[in-house]
Amino acid sequence: MFSKACEYAIRAIVFIATQSKNGRKAGIKEICDEIDAPKHFTAKILQSLSHKGIISSQKGPSGGFYLNASQTNTKLIDLVHAVDGDKIFTGCGLGLLNCSDKKPCAIHFQFKIVRDQLLNMLSNTYVTMLADEIESGSAVLGNIIGR
């Protein structure tokens, strides 16, 4: 459902949150190694998120990406909007331009239910909640095979 950019953004921000809780900044290589993502593409995504104020960054030898106190309270919906916009919440499940409640596509009403559930989950899930799951070992971020 999400673009690759959004998937990498979510994984990256959750990893950055785990590091920020311990007072650390994470470098792009470390982030990409941990979340199994391509370096240059992920760097562009993180730069964009930094410009939008979703994450913070610091240049230099002790630099990297981090979350300040207010950024740890970011909801996933805000991150998805920043990367993918709102098309996932408004668009047709089949990509039709004129799909609506009055002229529905074949999956319109079923997709609407899924879309509303996704919106609810993203609106009620905070980055810090996911970071807690990673730290506790109840969830993973990178490639599960071989870990």
Report the run of H or E that residue 65 belongs to, with start and end: strand 64-66
Residue 103 lies in a domain: yes
Under the banding of pLDDT at 50, 70 and 90, the label for residue 115 is very high
Residue 52 lies in a domain: yes
Residue 147 lies in a domain: no
The pTM of this model reads 0.89
Residue 131 lies in a domain: yes
Q: What are the structure tokens assigned to 59, written together?
A: 């240049």
Q: Which residues are registered as beta bridge partners of 66? A: 56
Contact between 147 and 140 (Cβ < 8 Å): yes
3-class secondary-structure state, position 117: helix
Between these two residues, 46 and 147, which has the higher pLDDT value? 46
Residue 20 lies in a domain: yes
Percent of the chain with pLDDT over 90: 79
Distance CA 62, CA 102 (A): 57
Residue 143 lies in a domain: no
Residue 141 lies in a domain: no
Distance CA 97, CA 106 (A): 13
Largest CA distance in the chain: 58
Domain containing 116 equals: 4-136
Q: What is the CATH number of the domain that holds 19?
A: 1.10.10.10
Residue 142 lies in a domain: no
| pLDDT of the residue at 141 | 80
pLDDT tens digits, 74-92: 999 999 999 999 988 888 9
3-class secondary-structure state, position 95: coil
Structural domains counted in the chain: 1
